[in-house]
Structure 1
Amino acid sequence: MVSTVTAAQPISGPRSPCRPRVFGAKSSPAPVSPAAPQSAAASCSPNSRSPCFSASNSNRLQPGATGTPGTNGVDLAGGSLARVKSPSGHLTARSLGMSLEERASVCTFDCPDTCSITVTIDDGRVAKVRGSHALPYTAGVICTKVARDMEAFVHGPQRLLYPLRRTGSKGSGQFERISWEAALDEIHKRVDEVIGRWGPQAVLPLNYAGPHGLLAGDSMSLRFFHRLGASQLYRRALCGGVRSEAWAGTYGAVPGSPPDFAEGANTKIAEQADLHLQTLPGTDTPLAWAVATELERAGKLDKEFIAANVLGFDEFMARAREWPVSRAASVCGVPEDQIRTLAEWMAEADPLVVAPGNGLERGRHGGGAIRAIVALPALLGKLGRGNGIVLGASNSFPKTLAKLQRPDLAPAGTRTLNILDIGRHLAEDGLDPPLRAVFIYNHNPIVVHPDQNRMRRGLAREDVFTIGIDVAMTESLAHCDVVLPAATHFEYPDLYSSYGHHWLQRAEPVIAPLGESLPNTEIFRRLAARFGFDEPCFRASDAEL
């Protein structure tokens, strides 16, 4: 729980041009400084079509300095040397002897780190991305994917720049360019026809986390769908919700040291662990039960704590005793002595911290595995007093999502569908009313959902009108009737919390939106206006959101 925000340096003090706004919990002091301080004259509209950034947010690299090996001819401390084209062949400011600019931003990919980054801008283009020290937790580190591929992500041939209408069969990728007015008119006409025949619950938003920003993730978009009366979507079953439900089913509520040990795939963490149990997929529950059985055999269970605080102990251990170490070792594919060592270390650890991590919940019995694992500290009486169970940091910062998303606009009794069932609901008409209009945004369901072929069959139906909103043409958008171009996270302001640490970051745009792309918030403002939703909440600016 975040009780306060502390600043490592005064807000009015000197600011680094590459340091975004970062807010931290009381337990970890956080510098608070703006990513893009702008004067009123230099401020950018989210819909701006030309760069309008203030000099106070840039660290200009002047030409004439000596190049540094490994930096593509650019001395990051002082200037530009090489007169070259970018990897994409674009004539750059460097090739003309002009200056580059550095701007602060945040990596928004689906990763618990949410790294702070420094973006080098060359003539309005993203030329380079590297880690920054604005976020102390990541301390300048960035993954190879982000460091290498961000120019192509923003400026590559797959980038969507204009609204499109499908001209070929679904999935063919054949589209024609149309205007925003024509796109909005067609969406309104087709969705209105669906509502007229089937009712508003035949419409569905099919989205997930996307860029993870609080505004672009779901703000104006859910206001629109709530007001429309569309079916609502339970998204968390696809990932972290399983872990939360497993915790709640074991401990009752979601919660706001060496030696180290790890299990699962052979990763960097596993390489650094003192003990690595590389279990076979889907065998985490038998492993947890075997550890419980071994703890009981060794006399390590805290019987007094169990009697006072644990419900269902006898039932749990009855199942666990079916999995002695020898049987579990055979099924899990790990040596017996490793399971015994794991149990011994857990009993001796002071404090004991258990971190199930990400991934277990993606298996068929993932929730049960998490429950079995997080029950082990209770058997040892190691809860509190420095002991702990680490699930994630998503609840570190309180959020007023009801104010942001306005669920009060939805009609009473509106149904909620599980995101894992959408492929079946699209491929088969088992719902009443059936799904006949789908908005895909912040999501690529053909790639992400289980049973890819069923999802593909559902999206290929000609009688399901599908709207796609994304930064690039994806497998799912190739099946859409109308495609709307979304801005990347480099092109609008947003707030980014993390599910892996206790820091909140704010990022300002580092370039203007490309082509006719728009931020999600503006796209859904325009949709709301076209559908005649004239309530003040649909005119709220991003700053007001």
Structure 2
Amino acid sequence: MREYTNICPYDCPDACGLVVTVDNNKVIKVRGHKEHAFTRGTLCPKMVHYEQIIHSPKRLTTPLRRVGKKGIGIDQFERISWDDALHTIVNNFKHTIDTYGSESILRYSYAGTMGAVNSPAGDYFFRRIGATNQDRGICSPAKQAAFRSVYGDTIAIKPQEAQHSDLIILWSINAIATDLHFLHDVNVAKQRGATVWVIDTHKTYTYDQATHHVYVKPGSDGALALGLMHIIHRDDLADIDFIQRYVQGYEELVRDVLPTFTPDYVSSICGVPAEVIEALAHAYAKAKAPFIRLGSGVSRYGNGSMSCRCINALPAVVGAWQHLGGGLLSSASSSQYLNKSFMQQPQVVTPAKRLMPMILLGDLLTNPKALLEHGLEDTSGGVPVHSLYVFSSNPAITAPNQNFVRQGLMRDDLFTVVHERFFTDTCAYADIILPATSSVESDDIFNSYGHYTIGANYQAIPPVGESRSNWQVISELARRMRLDDPFFKMTELELIEQMVRSSSKLSQEEQDRILQGDLVEVELPENYKLDFKTPSGKIEILNPQENIPLITYREPYGDGEPFWLIVGNDIRILDSSFCEMEFDDLELMKLRMNPDDARLYNINDGDVVEIYNIRGTVRIKVYFDAMVQRGTLVTLGVWWQSQSSDDAVGINALTASRPTDAGWGSTFYDVQVNIRKI
């Protein structure tokens, strides 16, 4: 029996430290690693029995070739050898390039693994063969763009500093489901007397963690932030000394924007009573070290980036950054401590190719001119996609505008490869399926976007069945495509060492410890919180490089339907990951509705209804919940087709491929629907 130190590979800010116990080449137990500086030995419910996922009888263990119809199931496939599978893929790539041009090949991948080797494994390969590039931002690029707009390349605050705060705002983050270990720091602060406010669109699992709750109308968070700043200025609560030294644009904000955002006006937008806005503004401004933990939900509207810019300005107005425990955490900056650019091989210049934002997958698969129609450059002139290679993602269920995505995947002239651990919805549309390893079956290295601990994952068990990692497959495809770059001949261990040893931000000691398998919390520079890495050297509430330089309020898209649809987080799954598990609840996809709204539509508790808009229709069962705001509907989780209410479509049949106002991110939450009883 042997124990291995590992990092959880999933798309979560916590990136938990794991201790993996192996006996006879089998994982028999997974527990939290007590020496991890942020997760401290605890795991979320999803990972407590990770060994059941690793050794699940549902794992794909051999390559498969489709011999039946698309979109049906695994019974439409036959087993083949790896040699046959790779030969088929390479022949298709060569034929596609010769017949249609290289940009008719598209790679689609995201964060099925967050490893610095296996997440971007295909980036350089597909650039090297001239394929259509993929802008790999779908989750929260609008939030990231907002932080850069206000703070540039400033290092983000350590989450543990929240322990020293006397007022914490959990803004648009369901921490129980998406940032569980941050609540340890919140609870330490509470024990020291801190108050906790939750700002969200609906009651979440995190409700009981807070002393105060503020429910806003979807997409109105930016107006609330401006309303708070209006009161802070009106009542002389702003830190003028800090502002004069560290903030650019406050004078313009006070003159041109804030006068409009009175408590009553903001209340009319947000639905928050004016007296609550007043109370929150005073509590925040009078706190010694207020801390905001900003989630990604607020960024997934058409106004998402501007809303986040407004929220990012709050700690600047009250001078929170100068105090221990004060500030705002949007995403941690730990990725800069590894030389991740090595995986992109930036020194190799290749011809510019078209770039597809992830949200436009369905558009491009069904309309070759989609990029041009969205005002984007298309160096191919609008060549159709004929070859699609999918890994670390399940776009048939997770991409927006699901009906377009599935329509595109059903095309007879589209050759699709899916590299996966389980038979997902996307696998049903594949021509070739390749079995993928789990995180304990290959080598990789992980940082986090929620804290500053870095750790290497060294292989703990042999691959299950014939599974191979992303990098192993990509490097073999490169060899068969006769790409002789030395990069493709490197092993995962060599790539890990290169990213660590060539980092300019890690000390020699930190490098050595990471490579020997320790969980290392990197040391941040002294006084980093006040070292604002922007062109002005200040916090830029007014950023002259932006299309809209000064922060303000913008409305979300909306759809002209009576209900906002909120797709929250189900604690049992992460996006569509973990859906392969067995669940006791036979009704996984449910709709929560305010009973007063339901009565207007003659809907009873437990009725099956259809929610619909111009993009699609979803059948689902309604459950009454008086805590749901009127005019909103709430459902949790992005479930596989087989787990959906009518075994037909998922919730993303209702979402749009409209971009956020910056970053070309998804607007998954900017969706309105109507409802009818059936």
* TM-score past 0.5 threshold: yes
- What is the root-mean-square deviation of aligned Cα atoms in Å? 2.3
Rg larger in structure: 1
Cα drift, residue 377 of structure 1: 2.5
Cα drift, residue 268 of structure 1: 5.4
Of all paired residues, the percent bearing the same amino acid is: 32
Q: Is the 8 A contact 1:226 1:406 kept in 2?
A: no
Picking from 481, 490, 496, the partner of 1:540 is 490
Do the aligned partners of residues 402 and 117 (structure 1) sit closer, same or farther apart at CA in structure 2, a change above 3 Å counting?
A: closer
Q: Is the 8 A contact 1:117 1:131 kept in 2?
A: yes
Give the structure 2 partner of residue 121 of structure 1: 22
Which stretches in structure 1 are left out of the alignment for 5+ residues?
1-54, 59-101
Cα drift, residue 407 of structure 1: 3.6
Matches within 5 A, 1:20-419: 58=2, 102-148=3-49, 150-173=50-73, 174-219=76-121, 221-236=122-137, 238-253=138-153, 255=155, 257-260=165-168, 261-264=197-200, 265-267=202-204, 269-302=206-239, 306=243, 309-311=247-249, 313-314=251-252, 318-386=256-324, 387-395=326-334, 397-409=336-348, 411-419=350-358
The Cα offsets for residues 72-95 of structure 1, whole Å up to 9 and x where unpaired, read as xxxxxxxxxxxxxxxxxxxxxxxx
What CA distance in whole angstroms lies between the structure 1 residues aligned with 2:206 and 2:422? Answer: 33
Which stretches in structure 2 are left out of the alignment for 5+ residues?
157-164, 169-196, 372-381, 496-678
Cα drift, residue 132 of structure 1: 2.5
Letter in 1 for 2:393: H
Q: Is the 8 A contact 1:226 1:407 kept in 2?
A: no
Query: TM-score, length-normalised on structure 2?
Result: 0.62
Matched, 1:519 2:469: yes
Q: Is the 8 A contact 1:393 1:499 kept in 2?
A: yes
Q: Is the 8 A contact 1:227 1:410 kept in 2?
A: no
Q: Which secondary structure does the structure 2 equivalent of 1:215 belong to? A: coil
Q: Is the 8 A contact 1:329 1:335 kept in 2?
A: yes
Do the aligned partners of residues 313 and 396 (structure 1) sit closer, same or farther apart at CA in structure 2, a change above 3 Å counting?
A: farther
The Cα offsets for residues 457-499 of structure 1, whole Å up to 9 and x where unpaired, read as 1211121211111111111121111111111111012111111
278-287 or 384-393, which deviates more:
384-393
Letter in 2 for 1:300: L
Q: Is the 8 A contact 2:5 2:20 kept in 1?
A: yes
Give the structure 1 partner of residue 183 of structure 2: none
What CA distance in whole angstroms lies between the structure 2 residues aligned with 1:230 and 1:310? Answer: 42
Cα drift, residue 316 of structure 1: 6.9
What CA distance in whole angstroms lies between the structure 2 residues aligned with 1:353 and 1:500? Answer: 15
Q: Is the 8 A contact 2:243 2:319 kept in 1?
A: yes
Q: Is the 8 A contact 1:243 1:361 kept in 2?
A: yes
What CA distance in whole angstroms lies between the structure 1 residues aligned with 2:100 and 2:335? Answer: 41
128-137 or 223-232, which deviates more:
128-137
What CA distance in whole angstroms lies between the structure 2 residues aligned with 1:531 and 1:213? Answer: 25
Matched, 1:438 2:438: no
Q: Which secondary structure does the structure 2 equivalent of 1:144 belong to? A: coil
Cα drift, residue 433 of structure 1: 2.1
Q: Which secondary structure does the structure 1 equivalent of 2:90 belong to? A: helix
Cα drift, residue 409 of structure 1: 3.8
Letter in 1 for 2:313: A
The Cα offsets for residues 358-400 of structure 1, whole Å up to 9 and x where unpaired, read as 3222233221111111112333344445442222224354232
Do the aligned partners of residues 407 and 164 (structure 1) sit closer, same or farther apart at CA in structure 2, a change above 3 Å counting?
A: farther
What CA distance in whole angstroms lies between the structure 1 residues aligned with 2:130 and 2:278? Answer: 56
What CA distance in whole angstroms lies between the structure 1 residues aligned with 2:411 and 2:78? Answer: 20
What CA distance in whole angstroms lies between the structure 1 residues aligned with 2:409 and 2:43? Answer: 36
Do the aligned partners of residues 296 and 152 (structure 1) sit closer, same or farther apart at CA in structure 2, a change above 3 Å counting?
A: same
Q: Is the 8 A contact 1:292 1:320 kept in 2?
A: yes
Cα drift, residue 258 of structure 1: 1.4
Q: Which secondary structure does the structure 1 equivalent of 2:362 belong to? A: helix
Q: Is the 8 A contact 2:21 2:30 kept in 1?
A: yes
Cα drift, residue 123 of structure 1: 4.1
